[in-house]
Structure formats: C-alpha cells, structure tokens
Amino acid sequence: MIRRVEPNDIFPVITLAFDTLPERYNPSIFNQFYESCPEGFLVALQNKTIIGFLIGIKTTPNIARILMIAVEDSFRKKGIGSALLTQFIKEMKNQQITKVELEVRTSNKNALRFYKKRGFLLQATLQKFYQNGENAYSMGKEL
Ligand SMILES: CC(C)(COP(=O)(O)OP(=O)(O)OC[C@H]1O[C@@H](n2cnc3c(N)ncnc32)[C@H](O)[C@@H]1OP(=O)(O)O)[C@@H](O)C(=O)NCCC(=O)NCCS
C-alpha cells in the first residue's frame, strides 16, 4: 500500500533512511519536507510497517525533484520502488508538474538502471556532489 506520509510515519522513515541511504541527514529536515510538500512525501506499508518511502519537492511551479527514495533491503525487487515512483508522478501531474528531476550517485548502478528503465534521461554529471566527494548524475523525465 502506498499513501502520503502522516506525522506518525516520520520517525520510522528517519530510521529507514539511516539504514538504507549513505547520506546522513539532519532528522529535522524530514518534518520540513512534510510541511512544505506533503503531496511529494509518500510511504509504502506492509501490515502497517513502513518498508519504503519517497520524498520529492517542487523546485519551480512546474518542476519537481526527487530527494530520496528507498525500500527496505528485504523488500526490494518486488515492485515497491516502482509503485512509489508511479504514485509520485501521479501526484505531481495533479499539481501541474511537467518534469521530474533527481540526482543519483554515479556508483549506484542499481538506482541508475532503475531510473533509466523508468524513462529518466541523463542530463549532466555533477562533480563532488555528495558529502564524501562522490559525483552525481543529474537525471530528468518529462511527464
Ligand atoms: C532503488 C530502489 C528504491 C528500488 O526499489 P525496489 O523496490 O527494489 O524497486 P522495484 O522492485 O520496483 O524495481 C527494482 C528491480 O526489481 C525488478 N522487479 C520488480 N518486481 C519484481 C518481481 N516481482 N520479481 C522480480 N523482479 C522484480 C524490476 O524489474 C527492477 O529491475 P530494473 O531496475 O532492472 O527494472 C532500491 O533498490 C533501494 O532502496 N536502493 C537503496 C537506496 C537507493 O539507492 N536509493 C536511490 C538513491 S538516488
């Protein structure tokens, strides 16, 4: 089941982000994303437990940006990441968004393949984009 995030979901999302993503985020930003763009903050649940999430924001009235997407390790390759992305695109289309952008580590081959197969195109390489100095690919998809 995919739905918009609710206040009680924020703490489990922070825990899941810590377990699945290499980047270290200040926990307070999750509440900020919820308050600024609740329609872009989605969770995937299995029996009321959060097993995945996606956070996106609007960067202009017509462009959205995916900031994080993650699925718990043991639930990957079951279509949950795709379902989060599909629901996000649906939410964004309802908000008159015409393009979705994101960045992905150049070393994250899984995520790179995941996005390419779902219609995202490479836009640029961003040097030293991450905290550890790693480069990113900027990708975009017209809706
Ligand atoms: C990237 C990520 C979110 C994808 O989530 P996911 O739930 O595994 O995504 P899906 O299951 O929808 O798709 C993943 C693959 O499983 C395959 N798959 C989907 N359902 C399947 C099924 N029932 N049986 C077998 N394979 C399946 C898909 O074809 C897909 O392969 P592809 O990418 O080659 O097309 C997940 O790998 C993740 O959390 N990674 C760590 C965090 C991360 O790197 N985030 C991105 C940072 S930019």
Number of domains in the chain: 1
pLDDT in tens, the chain (143 residues): 999 999 999 999 999 999 999 999 999 999 999 999 999 999 999 999 999 999 999 999 999 999 999 999 999 999 999 999 999 999 999 999 999 999 999 999 999 999 999 999 999 999 999 988 999 999 999 99
Q: Is the CB of 24 under 6 A from ligand 1?
A: no
* Adjacent-strand bridge partners of 125: 137
pLDDT at 131: 86
Distance CA 99, CA 37 (A): 16
Query: Could you tell me if 43 and 9 are in contact, meaning their C-beta atoms sit under 8 angstroms apart?
Result: yes
Reading the block at residue 37, the tokens are 């763009």
Residue 69 belongs to what domain range?
Answer: 2-142
For ligand 1, say whether the CB of 110 is within 6 Å of any of its atoms: yes
Cβ 40 vs Cβ 56: under 8 Å: yes
Q: What is the pTM of this model?
A: 0.96
Choice from 42, 110, 129, 135 to test ligand 1 binding pocket (greatest atom count within 8 A of CB): 110
C-beta of 73 in contact with ligand 1 (< 6 A): no
3-state SS string for the chain: CEEECCHHHHHHHHHHHHHHCCCCCCCHHHHHHHHHCHHHEEEEEECCEEEEEEEEEECCCCEEEEEEEEECHHHCCCCHHHHHHHHHHHHHHHCCCCEEEEEEECCCHHHHHHHHHCCCEEEEEECCCCCCCCCEEEEEEEC
CATH number of the domain where residue 85 is located:
3.40.630.30
CA 13 to chain centre: 12
Do residues 99 and 142 lie in contact, with contact meaning Cβ atoms separated by under 8 Å?
yes
